[in-house]
Structure 1
Amino acid sequence: MFGSRLTYIALLWWVLEKTGSATALAGVAIATVLPTFFLGPIAGVFIDRLDRRRLMLAMDMVNGLIIGTAATLLFIGRLQIWQIYLFSILSSTATVFHRPSLQSSIPNLVEPEQLTKANSLYQISNGITGVAGPALGGILVGFIGSGPTMWVDAITFFVAGISLSLVAFPSPRAVASSGLRSIFSDTLSGFRFLYHKKTLLFMLLLFGLVNFLLAPTSVLFPIMAKNVLNVGAQGFGLFGSAISVGMIFGGLLTARLKRFRHHGLGIICGLVLLGVMLAVFGCSRNMILSMLSLAIVGLAVAIVNTLEAVIFQTRVPNELQGRVFAAQSAITDGLQPISLALTGALLAVLSAPTITIASGVAAALAGLGALAAKTMREL
């Protein structure tokens, strides 16, 4: 996780410096999201059939090779924009297999009553790596360039893979039938499960809407850093660090709420807080206020992510979780390419702060609208 934050800073900043184009930034973000939508459900089948630890190990190694190749091309001056799109697709494809494997492995490592704490600790670890990663990424990009910074990322993937090879944990597997028809049937099983669980489906559709509204931030944040706040790559890195500091506090907060049972209301409050503070960030022209607002955004993200994970891990059979988590990602991320494409077009007529404010307000309204759903209030 640490290294990936370095590449996020290095890659987006290189594209912005190279092209000065919001459309090019949106293209990278779209390339990153597409595999989740098209390959996520199929990946879930293999996650439930294979040893999840070995699958995560393999994907770490693949990601290390992909990022290392991109870093080398960048260092020797041969990297082109179309290659950035290709590497983004390949790296995201590896992540499509890795992330649901990790999510579905957590219930195998702890007792059910410890799931909230375990997921909170996961958010805290995300936050800790996120504090150092973006900040160091911004500093390294400023001093040694994007290529060497991405080499650090590649090394961290190999270190993660080696670490996984040294541990063991149970990995329940679904019974695998042979043939393409069985793969197709198993792929649909995740969606069928969600279709019959109306509460879970409603929550995912809500997250899909919110992600559609928040997707522009991956394009807007580097533009805000460079053209609005004038803080350069270092400041852009600090944006990510501020969010991650908030995630640490959000993880600590949810870890202490072990007996909290109103998960739906917690998610709604988190979404509203997230949207409001994103709008504040869009209004800000002061770096301190910007970082404070993003820290609160991170706190809200940690709360929402933790409660959502607990809901799914306690309501979905473990042998089906790979497919369900993959279907979840396809549903919640499916509209992001459209959102990102619209962002590139909107930036031709609207400013980055205006779009950021609108995204935040709309996300907060979506959260408030969810209060009308009895299933969410009682979740």
Structure 2
Amino acid sequence: MESQIKRKGFSKDFNLMVVGQIISILGSALLRFALSLYVLDITGRADLFAVLFAISSVPILLAPLGGAIADRFNRRNLMVIFDFTSSIIVFIFFVVLAIGNSSILLIGVVMVLLSLVSAMYAPAVMASIPVLVEEEKLEQANGIVNGIQALSGVAAPVLGGILYGMIGLKVLVIMSGVFFFLSAILEMFINIPFSQREMNGHIIPTLVNDLKGGFSYVVKQSFIFKCMILAALLNLLLTPLFVVGVPIILRVTMQSSDTLYGIAMGLIDFATILGALSMGYFAKKMGINNLYFWIFVTALLIVPMAISVTPLMLNIGYYPSYILFVVSTLLIAMIITVISIYVITVVQKETPNENLGKVMAIIIAVSQCMAPIGQILYGLLFEAFSIQIYIPIIMVCVSMMVMAIATKKILRFEEGAAAK
């Protein structure tokens, strides 16, 4: 009877974790958005918040440490501790705000602390999914978790903008703290299988050795190492295209109105969510042996992006260029989300439970560190070719085609390695 229930849906523990994720991630996204508006209100300078945001992203480098911790301790307890810690940080921040201290430095410290907790929290979640979900549903489960993260990015600006104007920063801070607290309470009812591993001496040397072992494991496991490189290259080439390139093209090259710009960015977010939530369907059509095909399709979809910003197309009229650009961008956003989730899922299937936290955290840290590098490169390219904006897009297209060919060659001997 139990197995029949599992086949029909996800386990109670996974469902509880998902609800906890929704509450926790929404609370975090609301707070980050509210703080961005507040900094802009009190300073009028977007560059200050950009610096704060960049600094607050640094703790992602500590994700491997969070992974080592996730492999040594009960992951359910870690989630509870991390959410309680976030709520305490937020409540202390509220008290300091209430007594009249609202400095930029204070906001920066709070953002860094919350990002640090988040960097530790994420590996515990990613490492828990494979032990809470049947293997054949792992792609769909990862899609749901990624969809929640993407949805929070869409909902936070809408809800945050409305609530910030209606109730102000202090009430939003309290709401965020309550969200973290409720998530921690909910996570206390999750049962995540855990086997205590023997420690060799003090906890710090043990974690250091675990970290060394984690990096060594990733490098020695040919298939997992290749997947990490693939994830890093995708983040280097495509993530900055959406973060830097798309806004520049819509606002500067096409001179889109606020409304049309907002519609395009909203649709891209929706495509990301749709890709994540439809992962269960795409998982049946994807495999290590045809992964290169999906990367090649992505490269081909970049071609109409480039065409939409050529002088010939722009001279035809605004709407044909805008529609062609947005449609191709939506399809790319959806496919690249599916590819990313699939690669993560394959690695999860191939990694023993005792190494899951470390391996997931290392891949997350390495791939996410590539995005800022790509953003700098894209900034330079789009500035250098501001008149011929289609040139850097064609360069991305060629790079993706080369990547597709390389993926076919380096993974053709790994077909049997991935879990089926």
TM-score when normalising by structure 1 = 0.78
Q: 1:320: how far off? A: 0.5
Residue 305 of structure 1 aligns to a residue whose secondary structure is helix
Q: Which residue number in structure 2 is paired with residue 45 of structure 1?
A: 68
Q: Which residue number in structure 2 is paired with residue 192 of structure 1?
A: 216
Contact 2:140 2:278 in 1 (8 A): no
Task: Name which of 371, 394, 400 aligns with 1:367.
Answer: 400
> Quick check: 1:126 aligned with 2:149?
yes
Compare 324-333 and 293-302 and name the one that shifted more. 293-302
Q: Which residue number in structure 1 is paired with residue 22 of structure 2?
A: none
Task: Name which of 143, 162, 166 aligns with 2:185.
Answer: 162
Contact 1:212 1:336 in 2 (8 A): yes
Q: Which residue number in structure 2 is paired with residue 59 of structure 1?
A: 82
> Equivalents in 1 of 2:130, 2:265: separation in Å?
29
Change (3 A) 1:86 1:223: farther
Q: Which residue number in structure 2 is paired with residue 254 of structure 1?
A: 279
> Quick check: 1:91 aligned with 2:114?
yes
Change (3 A) 1:249 1:339: closer
Q: How far does the alpha carbon of each residue in 1:207-245 deviate from its partner, in whole angstroms, 9 at most, with x for none?
A: 33443453586688999999975649xx87x77754442
Residue 212 of structure 2 aligns to a residue whose secondary structure is helix
Q: How far does the alpha carbon of each residue in 1:79-138 deviate from its partner, in whole angstroms, 9 at most, with x for none?
A: 232233222221111111111111110111122222122222323333444443332123
Compare 157-166 and 71-80 and name the one that shifted more. 71-80
Change (3 A) 1:14 1:170: same
> Quick check: 1:27 aligned with 2:51?
yes
Matches within 5 A, 1:328-339: 328-336=363-371
> Equivalents in 2 of 1:216, 1:145: separation in Å?
34
Contact 1:245 1:298 in 2 (8 A): no
Task: Name which of 327, 352, 360 aligns with 1:325.
Answer: 360
> Equivalents in 1 of 2:186, 2:123: separation in Å?
19
> Equivalents in 2 of 1:187, 1:114: separation in Å?
29
Q: 1:255: how far off? A: 0.8
Change (3 A) 1:312 1:296: same
Q: Which residue number in structure 1 is paired with residue 13 of structure 2?
A: none
Contact 1:26 1:340 in 2 (8 A): no
Could you say what the CA RMSD is over the residues aligned between the two structures, in angstroms?
4.3
Task: Name which of 90, 102, 123 aligns with 1:100.
Answer: 123
> Equivalents in 1 of 2:223, 2:257: separation in Å?
44
Matches within 5 A, 1:336-351: 336=371, 350=383
Unaligned runs of 5+ in 1: none
Q: How far does the alpha carbon of each residue in 1:313-352 deviate from its partner, in whole angstroms, 9 at most, with x for none?
A: 1111111111111211221123455566778x869x949x
> Quick check: 1:3 aligned with 2:66?
no
Change (3 A) 1:172 1:182: same
Contact 1:140 1:149 in 2 (8 A): yes
Contact 2:267 2:330 in 1 (8 A): yes
Contact 1:35 1:93 in 2 (8 A): yes
Amino acid at match of 2:213: S
Unaligned runs of 5+ in 2: 1-24, 416-420
Amino acid at match of 1:51: N
Amino acid at match of 2:172: T
Change (3 A) 1:372 1:342: closer
Contact 2:274 2:334 in 1 (8 A): yes
Change (3 A) 1:88 1:372: same
Percent identity (aligned): 24
Q: 1:19: how far off? A: 4.6
> Quick check: 1:313 aligned with 2:342?
no
Contact 2:131 2:192 in 1 (8 A): yes
Contact 1:271 1:300 in 2 (8 A): no
Q: How far does the alpha carbon of each residue in 1:9-57 deviate from its partner, in whole angstroms, 9 at most, with x for none?
A: 22334344555555434323322321121x2222222111111011011
Pairs aligned (count) = 374
Compare 46-55 and 222-231 and name the one that shifted more. 222-231
> Equivalents in 2 of 1:54, 1:278: separation in Å?
49
Change (3 A) 1:355 1:125: farther
Q: How far does the alpha carbon of each residue in 1:167-194 deviate from its partner, in whole angstroms, 9 at most, with x for none?
A: 2121344432223433222111111111
Change (3 A) 1:292 1:371: closer
Q: Which residue number in structure 2 is paired with residue 12 of structure 1?
A: 36
> Quick check: 1:304 aligned with 2:328?
no
Contact 1:239 1:294 in 2 (8 A): no
Residue 334 of structure 1 aligns to a residue whose secondary structure is helix
Amino acid at match of 2:229: L
Change (3 A) 1:300 1:100: same
Q: Which residue number in structure 2 is paired with residue 111 of structure 1?
A: 134
Matches within 5 A, 1:189-268: 189-213=213-237, 214=239, 231=258, 242-263=267-288, 265-266=290-291
Contact 1:215 1:339 in 2 (8 A): yes
Q: 1:273: how far off? A: 3.8
Q: 1:250: how far off? A: 1.1
